[in-house]
Amino acid sequence: MISRKVILTGSFGVGKTSLFRRFIKGSFSEKYITTIGVKVDKKVVEVRGEEVSILLWDIAGEVKQDKVPKSFFLGASAIIYVFDLTRPSTYKNIGVDLNILDEILPDTILKVVGNKEDLIEDKDKLAKIKAEVNATIDVVTSAKSGHNVEQLFFDLAANFVD
Amino acid sequence: MVATSHNKQDEELLHQLQNILLKDDRVAIERLQETIDDPTLLSEKISPIIEERMMFFKEAFPKEFKATVDKMIEVKLKASQEEILDVIYPVMGKMIKKYVNHQIQMLKDSIDESIKKTFFSKGILWRIKNSLFGIKVSDQVIHDLKDYQIEEIYVIQRNSGLLFGSASTENTIDQDVIAGMLTAIKSFVEDAFKREREDLEMIQYGTYKILLQNFYSYYVAIAISGTMTSTEREDLANELLTFAEEHLNNMPPEPDGQIFKTISSALGQEFIKK
């Protein structure tokens, strides 16, 4: 079995804990409880017959990534940077944030995730938001419906096996 | 015909001349060939030369190659810094602990001396009993408390919080998650107080303690119930250093199933099945 540490980070209220819960427990809650410090949990994913244990660190949201204790990132094999598709304030500094993350862990897999897809009315609106974001979005998810959540982590696990 | 006869004569003369001029050289070459063909003779001739060169090499090497060797060692040390630190960490720890232990022993002896003087009249029977069994007063006071027990032990990668191995007296919740959360708490405390080169060494709740012994690329967390004297803690720390020397010197960069099995089994045998 392969074990890897994965970090969930981004601004507050973007749905990191909801993604965490959706992936680990397969559930969703409308209640918003802010994360204090960090929460750690684990899920084992099977990729091409190989078990990959993903130790997921759900880090308390910060408006800027330089506010997150650097030691939380150490030893991580991947970072998932989450923003809220419905709140421009959560992606307006995305370029700066991604640079900070790249400086902390230069050779680590970095996935940019736009969450709360279920709140976007149509494809045109989504395309407009995507055009506003100053970064390449790897995947658009909905923790509420579960859309693309499993796939996001499965793709990450596949990277670890490769 | 005349020309051919002259040529023959010339050749004969040349041959004779060669024999006269090269006679000594040919003998010398023959002797040289014999020496080369005979290993014993060859060895007799060459050995002193090799020995002489070896002596010269031995004397000149440090001077001639010091800079190159230093550079090579420097490069090698830089390249394998983590492995070297993992190897020397337990050894250094032992040396420091030995010194600190000695100092503490001196302090304890001095406390014992004071207690002897102060409680001579009151605790005479107690002291007689202790001296019969060779127990020191200070140790007796502490040993009257409940013995400690190691409930769980974990070897955890320092940065990632991934588990290298663990052992426990009973089944607990997911040990990977415990290792991750311990690392998160440790990172949080160490970051929050910004004390450089200082590590969180213990977490306590009620009579339950989690001792954290830090090494270079990993740390060991031991969950303990009951009361532990400082001497017992020192002994346990020494046991851990010895364990690290024997089992944790060649840790892979990332934990895997094989290393987990090996370390968990060793932890169980050394610390849990006692």
Would you list the DSSP string of B51-107? HHHHHHHHHHHHHHHHHHHHHHHHHHHHHTHHHHHHHHHHHHHHHHHHHHHHHHHHH
Q: In this structure, how many other beta carbons lie within 10 angstroms of the beta carbon of residue A111? A: 19
Q: Flag if B158 and A75 touch (Cβ within 8 Å).
A: yes
pLDDT of residue A114: 96
CB B210 within 8 A of CB B223: yes
> Which residue in this structure is represented by tokens 């024997």?
B246
**pLDDT tens digits along B163-186:** 999 999 887 778 899 999 999 998
Overall number of domains in chain B: 2
- Domain end, chosen from B44, B75, B106, is at B75
**pLDDT tens digits along B213-253:** 998 889 999 999 887 778 888 889 999 999 998 888 878 88
- Give me the mean pLDDT over the A94-123 stretch: 94
Q: Which residues of A touch B180 (CB under 8 A)?
A: 5, 40-42, 55, 57
Interface of B with A in 191-210 (CB under 8 A): 191-192
- Quick one: B40 and B144 in the same domain? no
Mean pLDDT of chain B: 81
CATH number at residue B191: 3.30.450.70
Beta-sheet strand order (sheet of B149-157): B163-168, B149-157, B218-225, B208-214, B202-205
B236 three-state secondary structure:
helix
Q: Flag if B157 and A2 touch (Cβ within 8 Å).
A: no
- Quick one: B51 and B178 in the same domain? no
Give chain A as a 3 state SS string. CEEEEEEEEECCCCCHHHHHHHHHHCCCCCCCCCCCCEEEEEEEEEECCEEEEEEEEEECCCCCHHHCCHHHCCCCCEEEEEEECCCHHHCCCHHHHHHHHHHHCCCCEEEEEEECHHHCCCHHHHHHHHHHCCCCCCEECCCCCCCCHHHHHHHHHHHHHC
- Domain end, chosen from B24, B44, B75, is at B75
Q: Which residues of B touch A75 (CB under 8 A)?
A: 157-162
B220 three-state secondary structure:
strand
**pLDDT tens digits along B70-126:** 888 888 887 887 777 777 777 777 777 677 767 776 776 667 666 666 555 555 656
- Domain end, chosen from B30, B54, B75, is at B75
- Quick one: B86 and B210 in the same domain? yes
Would you list the DSSP string of B117-167? HHSTTTTHHHHHHHHHTT--HHHHHHHTSPPPEEEEEEEEETTT--EEEEE
The answer to whether A118 faces chain B, any CB pair under 8 Å, is no
Q: CA of B261: which chain A residue's CA is closest?
A: A1
- Quick one: B127 and B47 in the same domain? no
Interface of A with B in 44-103 (CB under 8 A): 53, 55, 57, 69-72, 74-77
Angle CA(A68)–CA(B82)–CA(A41) in degrees, nearest 5? Answer: 40
- Quick one: B211 and B87 in the same domain? yes
**pLDDT tens digits along A142-162:** 999 999 999 999 999 999 987
Q: Which range is least confidently modeled, A40-49, B154-163, B188-197?
A: B188-197
Please name which of A46, A50, A51, A68 lies closest in space to residue A59, comparing C-alpha atoms.
Answer: A68
Q: How far apart are CA B250 and CA A34, in angstroms?
A: 41
Distance (Å) from the C-alpha of residue A89 to the closest C-alpha of chain B?
A: 27
- Quick one: B98 and B119 in the same domain? yes
CB within 8 A of A16, min separation 6: which ones?
A: A8, A9, A10, A35, A58, A59, A61, A82
**Tokens (6 digits) for B161:** 């919080």
- Quick one: B69 and B95 in the same domain? no
CB within 8 A of B144, min separation 6: which ones?
A: none
- Quick one: B117 and B37 in the same domain? no
Please check the confidence at residue B160 and state whether its pLDDT lies above 70. Answer: yes
The answer to whether B181 faces chain A, any CB pair under 8 Å, is yes
- Quick one: B131 and B237 in the same domain? yes
E strand or H helix at B10, and its extent?
Answer: helix B2-37
Report helix angle B39-79 to B81-118, nearest 10: 70
Q: Which domain holds residue B26?
A: 2-75
CATH fold label, A2-161 = Rossmann fold (3.40.50)
CB within 8 A of B256, min separation 6: which ones?
A: A1, A2, A3
Q: Which residues of B touch A2 (CB under 8 A)?
A: 254, 256
Q: Flag if A1 and B160 touch (Cβ within 8 Å).
A: no
**Tokens (6 digits) for A94:** 């995305």
Q: Cα-flanking dihedrals φ and ψ of residue B202, to 5°?
A: -155, 145
Please check the confidence at residue A8 and state whether its pLDDT lies above 90. Answer: yes
- Quick one: B91 and B66 in the same domain? no
Residue A76 has its nearest CB partner, among B160, B188, B256, at B160
Under DSSP, the state recorded for B223 is E
Share of chain A above pLDDT 90, in %: 77
Under DSSP, the state recorded for B169 is S
Q: CA of A78: which chain B residue's CA is closest?
A: B160
Q: Which residues of B touch A4 (CB under 8 A)?
A: 162, 254
Report helix angle B81-118 to B230-247, nearest 10: 160
Q: How many CB pairs under 8 A join A and B?
A: 66
Q: Which residues of B touch A38 (CB under 8 A)?
A: 184, 188
**pLDDT tens digits along B25-35:** 888 898 889 88
- Quick one: B135 and B169 in the same domain? yes
The answer to whether A24 faces chain B, any CB pair under 8 Å, is no
B35 three-state secondary structure:
helix
- Quick one: B169 and B194 in the same domain? yes
